[in-house]
Every structure is written in C-alpha cells, then in structure tokens.
Amino acid sequence: ARVEFLDYDVLTERGWSLTDDDLFEKAAESDIDGDAYGQVFVEPRTNLLKAAEDAGHSWPFACRGGACANCAVAVVDGDVKMPSNHILSEEMLEQGVRLSCISLPVTDDLRVVYNIEHLPGLDELRL
Ligand code: FES
C-alpha cells in the first residue's frame, strides 16, 4: 500500500484542519520538508509505524502493542484494520483515529496524519 503522510504540527502551524477536503492537496503544493510530508510504501502484514521507521522516519510511539496511543494517526483517506482496540473511544474511531503500531492497510492508497498527540481527547490516553 502507498501511504501519503503529513505531520500534525504542519496543520497547527498553518491553521489547517483534519477535516479540510483539500488537506493533502495543499500539503503537496506547499514546501514541506520530507519528514513532515511525503509517502511510504507498506509491505503486506506490516504495520504503519514499522513501515515509516523502515523508510527512515521517526514517528511517535511508546508501547508498540496497542496500549498507549502515542503512535496514533488520523486516517483521512483509505482504511486500515487493527486486530484489537482497548483504548480508543468510539468517537475517536469515527474521526479516523487509529494506532499505527498495530494498523495494517486494507486499501491500496492511504492518507494519514501522524503525530496527532494534541488532538482533543488523545492527551489523556497517552502513557
Ligand atoms: Fe502504544 Fe502504538 S505505540 S499504542
């Protein structure tokens, strides 16, 4: 799967929102450095966090086991599956929040915003 990613800090800096329809188009047209915006390819049975790390990126994480939410990303386009979820609320799941350490792509193309630690509600979940 091909994953286009964007750092949440960019949204904060530029006043963009996760719900902007043209979020990734704007990112593509802007001059954003390669760690904050770009794409990675995810091999089958590989989770998003691992794929990002294999490509040389440092995304936030702590437990690597689906228990802390430090690795949370917002899936804006496409879909992933998580084998289990014990910490994300229904509301967060509806917003597209997923744990990158245990998320496997199920669509060929994905767009995700990583580093979403400042998203409302997520702070309390992080260990
Ligand atoms: Fe803890 Fe992913 S690193 S849930």
Domain boundaries, given as residue ranges, for the chain: 2-125
Return the H-helix or E-strand segment holding 26: helix 23-29
User: For 43-52, 92-101, 114-123, which range has the lowest pLDDT when averaged over its residues?
Assistant: 114-123
Q: Which atom of ligand 1 has the smallest separation from the CA of 66?
A: 4
Ligand 1, pocket-test mutation among 70, 88, 116, 125, most atoms within 8 A of CB: 70
CATH architecture of 2-125: Roll (3.10)
Q: Is the ipTM of this complex over 0.95?
A: yes
Q: 53-81 pLDDT, tens per residue?
A: 999 999 999 999 999 999 999 999 999 99
Ligand 1 atom index nearest CA of 68: 1
6-45 tens-digit pLDDT: 999 999 999 999 999 999 999 999 999 989 999 999 999 9
> What is the pLDDT, as a whole number, of residue 96?
95
Nearest to 112 by CA among 44, 26, 16, 38: 38
CB 97 within 8 A of CB 123: no
Query: Which residues make Cβ contacts (< 8 Å) with residue 76, sequence separation at least 6?
Result: 18, 23, 24, 96, 111, 112, 113
- Mean pLDDT, the chain, integer: 94
Give the distance, in angstroms, between the CA of residue 79 and the centroid of all CA atoms in the same chain: 11
Q: Kindly give the distance from the C-alpha atom of residue 84 to the centroid of ligand 1, in angstroms, as a whole number.
A: 12
